[in-house]
Structure 1
Amino acid sequence: MPKNTDFCKIVATIGPDTSNEKAIEQLVLAGVSVFRCNCSHGSLPEYQERVTNIRKMEKKYNCTLGILFDLQGPKLRIGTFKDYRITLKEGDKFRLDMNPEPGDQTRVCLPHKEIFAAMKDGLELLLNDGVVRLRVDAHTADTADCTVIAGGELSNKKGVNVPGVKLPLSALTAKDKEDLKIAEMLGADFIGLSFVQEPEDIIELRSLMKSKAHIIAKIEKPSAIEHLREIIDLTDVIMVARGDLGVETSPELVPVLQKKIVSGCRKAGKPVIVATQMLESMIHNVMPTRAEASDVATAVYDGVDAVMLSAETAQGDHPYEAVATMRRIIETVEKDHRYRKGLSTLERKNDSTKEGAITSAASLVATNMDTANVIVTFTDSGSTTLRASQQRAGGLPILALTPNITTARQLAVVWGVTPIVIENLKNFDDMTAETKKAVLAQKLAKEGDNVVVTAGIPFGKAGTTNMLYVMNI
């Protein structure tokens, strides 16, 4: 059976070697709750294969799996070289220009007029994830003469970062808009928006969407930190995308910003994912470094909803082992009494609504009852379950029973939640019968145990959570 019923969830990126049915089955059994399709790579037939195989595993194992289509965004890249790659040394002179001809040891194309528009003398440009650093000495409307201040290898189409500069770029390119159509056509549960700079980026994406997919805003630009609260409020899920964030700021700032982003999500009651280089060495090695294990554990201790694997499962040599390792780290932390104790000190959203009061009361009752082993939420939109998860009540698991398959899949990324699809409820007897069936099937309670249930009357009407019920199984 899948091991995706623990508290902190795993998001895994799939690539050419992990798109087939057998590979996806292995990843599901290892503990993946949400699968990520990176729109920087792949084609429609490949996406179709992935979605088909993920949905097959849902049916085979009677579980709920989310699918994330991660839009590429305005990734800035240099052009190509005559000999594919060059090596620059500190002190070398190097030119960036708009000439599309292949580059050499002295120059390369930078096909982004937006960067030239923002150019100024003394500006630092980071290439190849910061491996190569250039200082602009002089510039025109389409050239920049630079000095290499940190040398290294540079090859075709490597990325460019301009730290500290807000570029006049939309977070959505023409390619992103086409990929969005494909994602929605294939039934994506989440749409990832890359390189978010300001709240308007979320608003623009939302205006283009035809489906009810949730938006995951990827925080990887310093300007997004400046607008963090507004971005969190406007989106459904936040991802701490530490790769470009570490290049755009500095590596020593990443842990501080990670804490700030996670704290902001906790206060707002929004799910948060920590991503990038979590088990990077497992791309080629069968075991992680101790530092990587500690990095994953730190995110879990902080109470994040999910942790994510990128190249480890998209193109790594040991995708199954990477997921299994991450799962073991999560399970080990979640058994630690300090983790349980820490949950009680996490920040919580202040929610004075009727629904919030019911959820808070359910958490308090469940925490104070020795025989309460699980909280059961009946939900249509998922909001009741999100509230229960945000409470982190005593570290108890949460069963989300919903007639809405889309809601169930979107709850697959939420801390502590096991989503289960049920038929529409007609009356109170239906509610108690579904509760008993679900908790026994998931082995979260046994005969004689108590469970705490929240629901809304009349049944089937979204936003009517008004009942708290302690049920004896």
Structure 2
Amino acid sequence: MKTKIICTVGPSTSSEDAIKKLLRIGVKLFRVNFSHGTIQQNIQKLKIIKKLGGSTISDLPGPKLRIKKFNGVIQTGEVIPTQKLSLPTLKKGWKIYLSDGLIELEAASEEQLKVLKGGEVRTGMGVNIPAIKTLQSPTTTDLELIKKIKNLSDFIAVSYAQNANSIKKARAEYNGNIIAKIETRTGVENINEIIKQSDAIMIARGDLGVQLPFEQTPLIQKKIIQLCEQNYTPAIVATQMLESMVSNTFPTRAEVTDVANAVLDGADSLLLSEETAIGLNPENAVKTMKKIIKSTQSYVSEKNFKTSTISEAISESAKNISKTIKANAILTKTRTGKTALAISRYKPQTPIIAATESEKTFNKLLLAWNVTPIKVKNLKHLNLNEFKLKKGSVAVLTYGENFNTDSIKILKI
């Protein structure tokens, strides 16, 4: 499958049996959201995933406000005390959004809230108040958390990334892959500098659609994916992809279209959140997303970029030659993943198989469009049999001295 799927692990999927089922249907990347549950509960999830051979994304809580102690339904038109939801001091007229905008309130005064759009409120539910400037991320608590979980985490996701410094602060504590979550106006404004410091970008559309006018979200998604492609950086699209499947067997037609459009936009990976964390049938949600991806991915248009280096020219040539000769695979040897990502961004229909010695690079390439990474012991003396192609297969191999990609070869296995 060319576009990858990431599953969020929660009450519905935290057991060994549940993780095994998801691994069996092709899931390789698992997100653990440290905004919910205790640190020890989440560390246990990471341990189970690693034990079973999955790769882990630890999503930091960040500075987001959350409901502290309240479980119940609030009705549209109801007026409730601010204290009931443990919210900070508000000014009259301020809008408050819960659950990524599904519930909407307005401050009638500093002490009272009017419910404009009601719904079920749960302890731990996210609160977004656009009038309050987001605190700096990562927080001190986030940085302390990284120290506790870094050895179990293949990726750290920095919530509410504001600028390049957000990523640099996290990298000072962690030398693995870092995902920057773009979910604020400031993050969008500073997207270029954030991409340059990050290993991957997550377009977290829930808070983003509240912080900015919701009608801008689709174009922001497209723009960020394009910028990621230009910078060899995997792009993840997240939030409410198949949300109705938390409680339903089938997705809405709008959700199917949303997933398909994210694939057509060129997203490297798609993230399932509540669908697999608290959904009634996580496996069904994954299988449904796989069906949509498989029916759409052959329509993803090949991309064109201005080439300025020999390596870029070789990557573009690999895509063109593989198409002309109908190759079974494009093969590459990579230490950092850059060559594989350079080819991937052209969106060739030919599968890319990338051999690497690096665990960090292997995990990063699990995110990348149409790339299958393989872990090898010695790149310099790599045997072509390690690519596991069938006899008679035709492949395009990119290579170079000291891993500076400057040559291309056509092979018949």
- Both structures adopt the same fold (TM-score exceeding 0.5): yes
Aligned to 1:162: 129
Q: Where do 4+ consecutive residues of structure 1 move more than 6 Å?
A: none
The equivalent residue for 1:35 is 30
User: In the alignment, which of 180, 204, 208 is matched to residue 169 of structure 2?
Assistant: 204
Q: Which residue number corresponds to residue 435 of structure 1?
A: 384
Amino acid at match of 1:241: A
- How many angstroms apart in 1 are the aligned matches of 2:100 and 2:145? 25
Matches within 5 A, 1:174-213: 174-186=140-152, 188-209=153-174, 211=175, 213=176
Deviations 1:199-227 (A, max 9, x none): 32222222232x3x111111111221111
* 1:258-337 to 2 correspondences below 5 Å: 258-335=221-298
* Distance in 1 between residues matched to 2:100 and 2:347, nearest whole Å: 37
Q: Name which one, 1 or 2, has greater alpha-carbon Rg.
A: 1
Structure 2: unaligned runs, 5 residues or longer = none
Letter paired with 1:217: A
**In the alignment, is residue 416 of structure 1 matched against residue 388 of structure 2?**
no
* Counterpart residue number, 2:409: 469
The structure 2 residue matched to 1:11, chosen from 6, 11, 32, is 6
CA distance in 2, matches of 1:89, 1:322: 30
Are 2:297 and 1:343 equivalent residues in the alignment? no
State the distance in 2 between where 1:351 and 1:207 align.
Answer: 33
1:228-265 Cα offsets, whole Å, 9 max, x none, are 22222221111111111122224333222212222222
Tell me the equivalent position of 1:66: 55
Q: Identify if the C-alpha distance between structure 1 residues 133 and 45 changes in structure 2 by more than 3 Å, giving closer, same or farther.
A: closer
| 1:409-457: CA deviation from partner (whole Å, max 9, x where unpaired) | 221111111111112144xxx44xx3244242xxxxx433321111232
**1:150 match: secondary structure:** strand
CA contact (8 A) 2:236 2:267 kept: yes
Shift of 1:45: 4.7
Give the TM-score normalised by the residue count of structure 2.
Answer: 0.90
Matched, 1:364 2:320: yes
Residue from 333, 338, 345 that aligns with 1:383: 338
Question: 1:118-157 counterparts in 2 under 5 A?
Answer: 122-130=93-101, 131-135=103-107, 144-145=110-111, 148=114, 150-153=116-119
CA-CA distance at 1:191 after TM superposition: 0.7
CA contact (8 A) 1:66 1:413 kept: no
2:87 aligns with: 110
Tell me if structure 1 keeps the 8 A contact 2:8–2:277.
yes
Equivalence for 1:99: none
Pick from 76, 82, 86: which aligns with 2:65? 76
Q: In structure 2, how many angstroms separate the alpha carbons of the residues matched to 1:424 and 1:369?
A: 29
The alignment-based identity, stated in percent, is 38
Which digits, 9 at most, give the CA deviation of each residue in 1:163-191, with x for residues without a partner? 26533x121223312321222122x1111
- Compared CA separation, residues 67 and 155, structure 1 to 2 (3 A): closer
State how far apart, in whole Å, the 2-side matches of 1:155 and 1:314 are. 15
RMSD (Å) for aligned C-alpha atoms: 2.6
Kindly indicate whether the alpha-carbon contact (under 8 Å) linking 1:20 and 1:49 is maintained by their aligned counterparts in 2. no
1:263–1:347 CA contact under 8 A, matched in 2: no
1:74 Cα deviation (Å)?
Answer: 0.8
Q: Could you tell me how far 1:85 is from its partner in structure 2? A: 4.5
Between the aligned partners of 2:108 and 2:189, the Cα distance in structure 1 is: 26
Summarize deviations over 1:381-425 as a string: whole Å, max 9, x none. Answer: 2111111111223x1100011122332122111111111111214
Q: How does 1:212-291 map to 2 (within 5 A)?
A: 213-291=176-254
C-alpha deviation, 1:299, in angstroms: 1.0
Name whichever of 68-77 and 122-131 sits farther off: 122-131
Q: Contact (CA 8 Å) 2:333, 2:379: kept in 1 or not?
A: no
The correspondence of residues 391-406 of structure 1 with structure 2, limited to 5 A, is 391-393=346-348, 395-406=349-360
- The verdict on how the C-alpha distance between 1:199 and 1:324 changes in structure 2, with shifts beyond 3 A counting, is same
Rounded to whole Å, the distance in 1 between the matches of 2:22 and 2:217 is: 29
Please say if residues 220 and 244 of structure 1, whose CA atoms lie closer than 8 Å, have aligned partners that are also in contact: yes
For the 8 Å contact 2:35–2:61, the answer to whether it is kept is yes
Q: What is the CA distance between 1:359 and its match in structure 2?
A: 1.7
- Note if 1:50 corresponds to 2:17: no
Amino acid at match of 1:365: I
Q: Where do 5+ consecutive residues of structure 1 fail to align?
A: 1-5, 59-64, 97-102, 138-143, 441-445
Structure-2 separation of matches of 1:398 and 1:290: 32
Structure 1 position 373, deviation (Å): 1.6
Distance change (3 Å), C-alpha of 1:381 and 1:268: closer
TM-superposed deviation, 1:125: 3.3
Cα distance in 2 between the residues matched to 1:151 and 1:470: 61
| Letter of the 1:411 counterpart | L
Cα separation, partners in 2 of 1:304 and 1:16, compared to 1, 3 Å? same
Q: Which amino acid aligns with 2:316?
A: S
The change in CA–CA distance for 1:406 and 1:91 in structure 2 (over 3 A counts) is closer
Counterparts of 1:223 and 1:127, CA distance in 2: 20
